[in-house]
Structure 1
């Protein structure tokens, strides 16, 4: 119920967006959405937070709206990064994004640093975006320009997550996302033809089958297990060197509760890990229908505001 409430219960009112399109070094483009929250206009030198959305979401997913509001209320600016082919337009190149892809994150953060040199930088990621963010932070170590980060509902072990999603009641999520991914693969077929076996790609019925047919060969992994191993955030958390809040629920229907690397999380003084018994996947709703509050977004915004020197 938490997961369902999170998907349908968040308000998408009171925000207008300004879209910036930037060209990437490989000849493609990225669409960035800068939200303007009604009644709140942080100063030009206010800290800015980059939002990374989940699988087949966008910078305008429901949890993004709530996050933009919570950040603006605390004096923070924000910008949502739409992954390639997630802004409503298919990109020019065959490569889009995957759980371990961090090159576009590096590029966007470089751009933000150039555009807003007086502003401290933070980031918040959800689900797949949380995995990407944690992996990025672990890879970069002390070289990241981020001052602080927050990761909500990250997978720590992608292989084990596939076992959960492909079985039992969670198979619903597999079917839901696969329908969306199939539509996108059909639209991208002219770009992918000759690089992967499109017949096999379009015949995939599970994440694992799609990753074996598409993600692994397209991005140079030896096989699907190599992709999962190299891209799982759990192996990177030890290398994170900036203050980072991690929020995960034990009843998350997409992940195995035993995939949480408790020892590594506890051993890194830069990490604040909050593991809750309930909250679902990007849910964490409080209150009653019609009067719901969103605990995870509020905690992430508070954490980032304090770390980035805003009003909190």
Structure 2
């Protein structure tokens, strides 16, 4: 058993919660990095660029949304196998991610070997194909995911379902679960490296070596926006054109000039306040595991929730090291992703399989 970091089961918050309220728990993760990968940037970068991808036989499907737009789904094989599987795992990728992202592809390969069927939802405009409306996706966009979950529930009512999100997708999943505490579609959820507090993360990733991640992701975001501007008129939605878009240098600028106006927020700060997962953790009623590292280069320790932020069914497993969606062990020539084993254990506990 992991060692508890706090007396999380006996605290009460008289100002906001009932006297006998039971909080979630924050425990020390069992993850320990190998000697060669203690640096947070190695943990973050090595699996992406130096680890061989596992084989997944992806099957694509387009899901039409209520507003006429679409998202592309990626299935881990044939849907006919779902009824005979241990369960259906719904995956939500991170910023500018897809089913080809190292964490999503290899986690899916792992889950398939465990007997699950996986479906990954590409957020609008992700996965190599632009969506048809000006709107895109962001850390708090839960409507498309909720529509997908209800669609899956209608198709496969007898199949147990769980969900997991990475980074931006993790923030989105936590927000969705907190918004809908009475949901019965998902039996459990896992959030890996969620940003928790978006405003603090936008500042942290603009400092030191972390700026290389911002630059890498921002280039993709801006290029996709400019490319989409060639076929969609944004003049009624944004006050910038393609030339001004290419001058954006930070996530905060992008969210101020693009994310906020496209999705009905007053500003980046308004978006950050309304969509940060930290605000939705207390109302989650679905068993949820959060896996996070203190040295995550996308953020800093100031974003971490306290036990008083966690609903009783939420467990935060915290490690000193691990980077952003890293948690890599093994050797340089044969690395092992510790996350796979931990995810397998948790889903087995939730689904009793």
Category of TM-score, reference length = shorter chain: over 0.9
Question: Residue deviations 1:196-248, cap 9 Å, x none?
Answer: 02234332111000100011111111111110011110111111111111000
Query: In structure 2, what is the equivalent of residue 13 of structure 1?
Result: 54
> Which of these residues, 125, 141, 149, is aligned with residue 101 of structure 1?
141
Task: Tell me by how many angstroms 1:178 deviates.
Answer: 1.2
Task: Tell me by how many angstroms 1:42 deviates.
Answer: 6.6
Question: Distance in 2 between the 1:298 and 1:151 partners?
Answer: 15
> Which of these residues, 182, 190, 193, is aligned with residue 153 of structure 1?
193
Question: Residue deviations 1:84-117, cap 9 Å, x none?
Answer: 1112111111111001100000011011111211
Please give the TM-score of this superposition, normalised by the length of structure 2: 0.83
Please give the root-mean-square deviation of Cα atoms over the aligned residues, in Å: 1.6
Question: Distance in 1 between the 2:118 and 2:94 partners?
Answer: 17
Q: Where does structure 2 lack aligned partners over 5 or more consecutive residues?
A: 1-41
Query: In structure 2, what is the equivalent of residue 89 of structure 1?
Result: 129
Query: In structure 2, what is the equivalent of residue 79 of structure 1?
Result: 119
Query: In structure 2, what is the equivalent of residue 195 of structure 1?
Result: 237
Q: Where does structure 1 lack aligned partners over 5 or more consecutive residues?
A: none
Number of residue pairs matched by the alignment: 306
Deviates more, 1:193-202 or 1:267-276: 193-202
Question: Residue deviations 1:140-184, cap 9 Å, x none?
Answer: 112251100000000111100011111111111111111111110
What is the correspondence of 1:157-306 to structure 2 with a 5 Å cutoff? 157-189=197-229, 190-191=231-232, 192-199=234-241, 200-265=244-309, 267-306=310-349
Answer yes or no: is the 8 Å Cα contact 1:60–1:80 preserved in 2: no
The alignment partner of 2:153 has SS state of helix
Higher normalized helix content (fraction of residues): 1
The alignment partner of 1:14 has SS state of coil
Larger Rg: 2
Question: Residue deviations 1:14-68, cap 9 Å, x none?
Answer: 211111111111011111101139xxx6753531010000000112211112211
Higher normalized strand content (fraction of residues): 1
